[in-house]
């Protein structure tokens, strides 16, 4: 049981075809990705796992439109982004992808609410709409009492919840989470994972999580293993919520 | 959207605290210098114009020598013949001559040196009419036959020259000859002119052993005549009389307008030099802003990465950093204006105290303030341009990874 029949008929939301990423470090060429191909389908919850140095981060950057491949194609919602310039990439990132980082990466000078409003600012959303949506999102992640707190006044778990609210600001189809629990204790880590799971199940978000923590694998439907710049993927039979069959039907 | 950009930029500035203020010091100094110097320079110019106006705009001064600097050293002379020529020029109402010599003044055993001017009764009419200068005490005019009578300037009767004030009725010695003071001249405003002593022409010729020699001939132009044209005519007539070609004159004809112009040129030159120095300070201030902005870009590399990750375009980042550096410039300019304005008002106050008369009025015009603020903002923006460009072109991957 390698792939579900229905997946073959659906269009992937993210598609990488023979992607190479080669960094030049002085004289040495580092091949971070070596002809990697993968498909991620709408409303999937996928984990990308692999040891450090495996090309995990580079892959995440490709999926997140933060970087373009040296060779190969990256399709995001059927659009080839491998040839785009930074400004177009920025626009796409802002609309289609929401980032959740290991180190939260909130703007220290802005309040929780302002942080959530920031992605909408760059999309030119009207101030009133921005503020309304920002409040709704923070309420959704349970921080309605902390709207005007600065990141430094919030706990790690709370900061990550602000980051999740921020990731949702422009209602993206894909949430890209890079070690989302890496800086959290197990209890708050679990809260964050539950929140992502809820987004996946209730809001139908496609969630791609990069992690090296095997214990998180119970949350996801599919694990993409990356090793030496190539992937080996398999379905996750340990899925906490059951198989993909249950999920998608 | 731009208002949010301002908010983000200003937060960045606020977080830097003391560093932002230190960065502004260069701008403070430059703008403060420019504001105070221009306002004082203009005040000085205005004061000077007021002085000139007191001397009368309808007057023409004819002096020996080819330039103002050579009036007292030239060998050429102005004579009665010149005076007659001037009187005959169309448009000249009256004309009269002065003779001015440095003399030894003695009062109650004290000795000082001062300029003594001899003038005819006719000259006195030009001098005392329409120039705002008058005899405030004693007689209001010299009369024919007032030999060995003198009128003294403000410095004498206010007691600034000799230990005691010299006033009407007192006796002084000029070059050893006794004179009786019959009048006191009103204050002109500068201490050189206010140290002058006036006597009649006949007495002066006898006293200084000169004859038929004037240091200045003053002519008043009739109403409705073009002063410059009359001045040109006077020049032409004297030239013809002396058989000189144009450009070879050993005398000069000055109108008030020309004097004002020549003084303005000097004042402008002085101001240009000082403002040049102020601009150097602004340039250094701009470099300071640039340095701070580069540091800021480094410090906030990760923030820039985050902003790019959540959808900020290169141009958004550029605008954010430009606003920040522009604001540094603008706030620096604002403080600079306050300091500069305070400085020039202070100078005005001190000058008024020292001279006990309001001579220099700092001229703080809205144009000056607005211009300075706009300029400091532009300096800030230009200084921030390169750092902002660097920030905007950071690759999001590299920026996010930066620690």
B335-355 confidence digits (pLDDT tens): 999 999 999 889 888 888 877
A156-203 confidence digits (pLDDT tens): 889 999 999 999 999 999 999 988 888 888 888 888 899 999 999 988
Mutant choice from A33, A114, A122 vs B, greatest count of B C-beta within 10 A: A122
Dihedral sign, CA of B348, B349, B350, B354? positive
Q: Does A66 sit within 8 Å of B309, measured CB to CB? A: yes
Instruction: Closest CB to B397: pick one of A61, A99, A169.
Output: A61
Q: How much of chain A is in helix, strand and coil states, percent to nearest 5?
A: 35, 25, 35
Reply yes or no on whether the pLDDT at A3 is more than 50: no
Helices in A168-213 by DSSP H: which ranges? 186-203
Task: Assess contact for A38 and A17: CB atoms under 8 A.
Answer: no
ipTM of the complex as predicted: 0.84
A70 near B CB under 8 A: no
Residue A211: the pLDDT is 87
Instruction: Closest CB to B397: pick one of A66, A105, A107.
Output: A66
Domain boundaries, chain A: 5-248
Residue B256: the pLDDT is 78
Q: Does A107 sit within 8 Å of B312, measured CB to CB? A: no
Q: Say how many C-beta atoms besides its own lie within 10 A of residue A54's C-beta.
A: 21
B130-159 confidence digits (pLDDT tens): 566 788 888 888 888 888 899 998 889 888
Domain boundaries, chain B: 2-52+261-401, 77-249
A123 near B CB under 8 A: yes
Cα B292 from Cα B299, distance rounded (Å): 10
Task: Report the alpha-carbon angle A128-A134-A138, nearest 5.
Answer: 150
Distance (Å) of CA B364 to CA A78, B342, B367, B373, B378: 64, 10, 8, 13, 21
A172 near B CB under 8 A: no
Length of chain A: 249
B250-278 confidence digits (pLDDT tens): 888 888 777 777 778 887 888 788 788 87
Cα B381 from Cα A78, distance rounded (Å): 41
Q: Does B8 sit within 8 Å of A67, measured CB to CB? A: no
Q: Give the A:B interface size as CB pairs under 8 Å.
A: 79
Strand residues in B256-354 grouped as ranges (E)? none
Cα B91 from Cα B219, distance rounded (Å): 10
The sheet carrying A28-40 orders its strands as: A28-40, A14-25, A71-76, A79-80
More confident residue, B75 or B1: B75
Reply yes or no on whether the pLDDT at A116 is more than 90: yes
Regarding beta strands B251-255 and B59-64, do their DSSP bridges make them parallel or antiparallel, or are they unpaired? antiparallel
User: Of the ranges A91-95, B173-177, B260-264, which one carries the lowest mean pLDDT score?
Assistant: B260-264
Residue A1: the pLDDT is 41
Give the distance from residue B11's alpha carbon to the nearest chain A alpha carbon, in angstroms: 6
A127 near B CB under 8 A: yes
**pTM exceeding the 0.80 threshold for the entire prediction:** no
Average pLDDT of chain A, as a whole number: 84
Label residue A5 by pLDDT band (50, 70, 90): very low
Reply yes or no on whether the pLDDT at A82 is more than 70: yes
Residue B55: the pLDDT is 66
A109 near B CB under 8 A: yes
Question: How would DSSP label each residue in B158-173?
Answer: TTSSSSS---TT-EEE
The domain defined by A5-248 folds into Rossmann fold (3.40.50)
Regarding beta strands A222-227 and A174-178, do their DSSP bridges make them parallel or antiparallel, or are they unpaired? unpaired
A56 near B CB under 8 A: no
């Amino acid at each position: 049981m390698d792939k579900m029949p229905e997946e073959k008929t659906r269009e992937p939301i993210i598609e990488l075809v023979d992607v190479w990423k080669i960094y030049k470090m002085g004289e040495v060429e580092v091949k971070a990705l070596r002809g990697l191909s993968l498909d991620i389908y709408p409303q999937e919850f996928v984990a990308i796992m692999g040891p450090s140095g495996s090309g995990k981060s580079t892959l995440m950057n490709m999926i997140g439109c933060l970087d373009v491949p040296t060779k190969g194609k990256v399709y995001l919602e059927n659009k080839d982004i491998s040839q785009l310039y930074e400004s177009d990439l920025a626009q796409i990132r802002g609309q289609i992808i929401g980032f959740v980082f290991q180190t939260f990466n909130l703007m220290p000078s802005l309040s929780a609410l302002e942080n959530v409003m920031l992605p909408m600012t760059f999309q030119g959303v009207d101030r009133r709409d921005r503020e309304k949506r920002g409040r709704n999102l923070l309420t959704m992640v349970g921080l309605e009492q902390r709207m005007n707190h600065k990141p430094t006044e919030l706990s790690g778990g709370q900061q990550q919840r602000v980051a999740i609210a921020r990731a949702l600001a422009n209602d993206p189809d894909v949430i890209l989470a890079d070690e989302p629990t890496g800086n959290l204790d197990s209890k708050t880590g679990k809260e964050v994972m539950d929140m992502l799971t809820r987004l996946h199940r209730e809001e139908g978000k496609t969630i791609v999580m990069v992690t090296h923590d095997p214990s998180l694998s119970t949350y996801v439907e599919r694990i993409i293993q990356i090793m030496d710049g190539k992937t080996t993927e398999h379905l996750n039979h340990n899925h906490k919520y059951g198989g993909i069959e249950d999920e998608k039907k | 959207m731009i208002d949010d950009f301002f908010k983000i930029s200003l937060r960045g500035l606020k977080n830097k605290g003391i560093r932002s203020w230190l960065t502004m010091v260069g701008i403070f100094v430059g703008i403060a210098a420019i504001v105070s110097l221009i306002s004082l320079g203009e005040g000085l110019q205005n004061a000077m114009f007021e002085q000139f106006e007191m001397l009368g705009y309808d007057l023409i001064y004819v002096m020996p020598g080819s330039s103002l600097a050579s009036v007292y050293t030239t060998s050429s002379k102005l004579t009665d013949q010149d005076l007659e020529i001037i009187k005959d020029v169309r448009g000249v109402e009256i004309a009269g001559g002065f003779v001015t010599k440095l003399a030894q003044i003695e009062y109650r055993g004290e000795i000082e040196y001062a300029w003594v001017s001899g003038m005819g009764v006719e000259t006195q009419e030009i001098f005392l009419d329409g120039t705002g200068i008058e005899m405030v005490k004693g007689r209001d005019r010299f009369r024919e036959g007032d030999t060995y009578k003198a009128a003294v300037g403000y410095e004498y009767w206010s007691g600034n020259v000799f230990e005691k004030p010299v006033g009407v009725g007192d006796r002084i010695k000029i070059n050893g000859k006794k004179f009786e003071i019959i009048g006191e001249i009103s204050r002109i405003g500068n201490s050189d002119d206010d140290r002058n002593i006036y006597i009649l022409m006949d007495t002066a010729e006898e006293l200084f052993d000169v004859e038929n020699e004037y240091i200045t001939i003053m002519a008043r132009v009739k109403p409705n005549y073009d002063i410059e044209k009359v001045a040109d005519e006077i020049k032409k007539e004297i030239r013809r009389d002396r058989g000189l070609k144009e450009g070879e004159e050993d005398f000069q004809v000055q109108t008030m307008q020309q004097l004002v112009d020549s003084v303005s040129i000097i004042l402008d030159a002085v101001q240009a030099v000082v403002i040049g120095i102020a601009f150097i300070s602004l340039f250094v201030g701009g470099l300071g802003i640039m340095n701070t902005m580069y540091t800021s870009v480094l410090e906030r590399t990760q923030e820039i990465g985050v902003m790019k990750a959540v959808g900020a375009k290169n141009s958004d980042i550029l605008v954010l950093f430009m606003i920040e550096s522009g604001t540094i410039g603008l706030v620096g300019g604002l403080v600079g204006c306050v300091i500069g304005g305070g400085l020039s008002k202070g100078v005005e106050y001190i000058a008024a105290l020292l001279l006990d008369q309001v001579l220099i009025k700092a001229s703080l015009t809205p144009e000056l303030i607005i211009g300075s603020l706009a300029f400091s903002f532009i300096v800030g923006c230009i200084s921030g341009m390169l750092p902002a460009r660097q920030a905007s072109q950071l690759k999001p991957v590299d920026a996010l990874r930066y620690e």
